[in-house]
Structure 1
């Protein structure tokens, strides 16, 4: 992970630790106030009809968050697709395609009959969602309205799920589902750059449902009038290598392992591995959406000289191939468990189709 990203995460999670960090934090506060105020003004314009909002004829659920990265939106979107599929509903996923290099108007990651783009083109999350849900359409578009209009005219789904869209208010949605990390829901309470919030916490008044991720206790509560559902991320019992071969996670417990991740919160991934009984001989953290170029692969080779296996995230694995490494590289799929999930699905269904 870059020094700047690591410093910012420390500032958000642990606060300023010395005089220089306090001075920097104080210098950043005016910028945070400006950033947060800009978001408030923009929201005011949407609330009072000063900015145009597109309303689709297809029900829409937005999955988003208040903070930048790391709340686990991808497993939640995946869970929603699968749960609505059990009801016979076909979902389409629309993402901005962050960190992908696609420059066109609308990118079709999948039409439900095979993946049509690489992870480099569309971004890690859309590719992973298309891989996990081969029967669903997945589109990327910087202007998501364009993707929605195509879905309205072609292969019309029952539902559109907008990935990471809480702040993108140009599209009217039937449901706003907002995710908060249970350990630090609001970071240090400040918007970027002094904190990690995209908006002031008061923006949660727009949310229809709040979902706490990585909760230690599966208990339902309320927050300022909102019903809060709690969830935990859970690693699967099987690991999958880069050629698709599966082994029991228990077999990895006897091996010397290097874990690495290029996600928003690598430490949470490492902690999850240790909680299921893996002993990590080495750990490497990279910036979110890292591109695994030769320099990074060489760094992994050098660090992995004395280990038996590598373990990474499912999101990182879509950018890797087996021939990059001299030892096996595994990913362990991450799923989500939501308390009172049946009640949540009933409420979502009523909001979407009532």
Structure 2
């Protein structure tokens, strides 16, 4: 939320942004603005807040489930943080995805969802049509797509991290909401994960259901499955460990760094320091060296980073580097599977 001193300055801009968002949503709801359609089912995975909400692990999970259902997953992404945001890139399965060209998250999706096609473009409808012309039996996943109203979706999934401010939040710039909470009524599925401060999970769940009682509610556990040495992770040559014995120093450029620290500490791993950068920042070699020096002064035996940051590394730093590999486990897996099955069946 905005600090008390700046809140009055942000009041009017906040009202203008919220009014613009509400007007845009009303135009789509009234049919004055129409969403473009693709010739295959589209699943959107998005969220309501700025920063990391756990969308990427869920996109990976959905891509795997769609492939298991016999369709070809196609992930459409804006590709934030890439060198030339104006260019479009189509990446078939088996082809490398350079993070400087496609962005860090699509590059990670290429690694974790090898059966998927990637379409990286501002015009995600155009990228989708280009892939649809080459792929039969496709199903599209619109990454970070809840606010991308230009593209029609058959299934709208909204990810909610309970550890982030939500019910008492405001629309940017007065808060971190991308649009008012009432926008949740567009969602078909709400995926809940994380834990609210003070054990308020149940009250947050109840508040969301009051906003949209007709939504399917799915609970997910997003956690660090293992820590893998960087070179082994890069080469795919070895498994990892559930916890690290030596104290560690965290280095990451992510949207929700506090959640990253909580997840590492939940693995019975002691954190003695941290250095966080803005989301999607490409950490330079000099910054890695500075982090290694700071980590050594703090008594750390290793650095720990995210897969999203490891994918951008040309070589590891001097201090041992461990990559925290995330996983998503859906609690109501059968119900979630039925939702995806219905989507696929309806397209055939």
Q: Is the 8 A contact 2:46 2:144 kept in 1?
A: yes
Q: 1:64: which partner in 2?
A: 46
> Does residue 46 of the first structure (1) align with residue 28 of the second (2)?
yes
Q: 2:328: which partner in 1?
A: 336
Q: 2:303: which partner in 1?
A: 310
Unaligned 5+ residue runs, structure 2? none
Distance 1:114 1:49 in 2: 39
Distance 2:57 2:149 in 1: 23
Within a 5 Å distance, the mapping from 1:11-26 to structure 2 comes to 12=1, 21-26=3-8
> Does residue 94 of the first structure (1) align with residue 94 of the second (2)?
no
Indicate the SS of the match to 1:83: helix
> Does residue 75 of the first structure (1) align with residue 45 of the second (2)?
no
Indicate the SS of the match to 1:284: strand
The farther-off stretch of 180-189 and 34-43 is 180-189
Q: Is the 8 A contact 1:71 1:179 kept in 2?
A: yes
> Does residue 228 of the first structure (1) align with residue 228 of the second (2)?
no
Q: What TM-score, normalized by structure 1, do the two folds share?
A: 0.87
Q: Is the 8 A contact 2:66 2:73 kept in 1?
A: yes
The farther-off stretch of 244-253 and 119-128 is 244-253
Match of 2:251 among 260, 265, 269: 260
Within a 5 Å distance, the mapping from 1:197-208 to structure 2 comes to 197-208=177-188
Q: What TM-score, normalized by structure 2, do the two folds share?
A: 0.88
Q: Is the 8 A contact 1:259 1:311 kept in 2?
A: yes
Distance 1:272 1:148 in 2: 35
Question: Alpha-carbon deviations, 1:272-325, whole Å to 9, x = none?
Answer: 111111111221121111111244223213213353211111111111133x41
Question: Alpha-carbon deviations, 1:79-133, whole Å to 9, x = none?
Answer: 001112222221010000011123454212x301221x31121111100001111
Q: 1:177: which partner in 2?
A: 157
Q: 1:242: which partner in 2?
A: 231
Distance 2:257 2:9 in 1: 28
Match of 1:142 among 114, 122, 131: 122
How many pairs align? 332
Distance 1:338 1:185 in 2: 23
Indicate the SS of the match to 2:269: coil
Displacement of 1:247 after TM fit? Answer: 5.5
Q: 1:6: which partner in 2?
A: none
Question: Alpha-carbon deviations, 1:127-164, whole Å to 9, x = none?
Answer: 00011112211110011111111022112342000000
> Does residue 290 of the first structure (1) align with residue 290 of the second (2)?
no
Indicate the SS of the match to 1:236: strand
Q: 2:264: which partner in 1?
A: 273
Q: Which runs of 4+ in 1 moved over 4 A?
A: 215-221
Q: 1:210 to 1:250 in 2, by over 3 A?
A: closer
Distance 1:286 1:124 in 2: 14
Distance 1:106 1:248 in 2: 35
Q: Is the 8 A contact 1:107 1:140 kept in 2?
A: yes
Q: Is the 8 A contact 2:99 2:311 kept in 1?
A: yes
Indicate the SS of the match to 2:40: coil
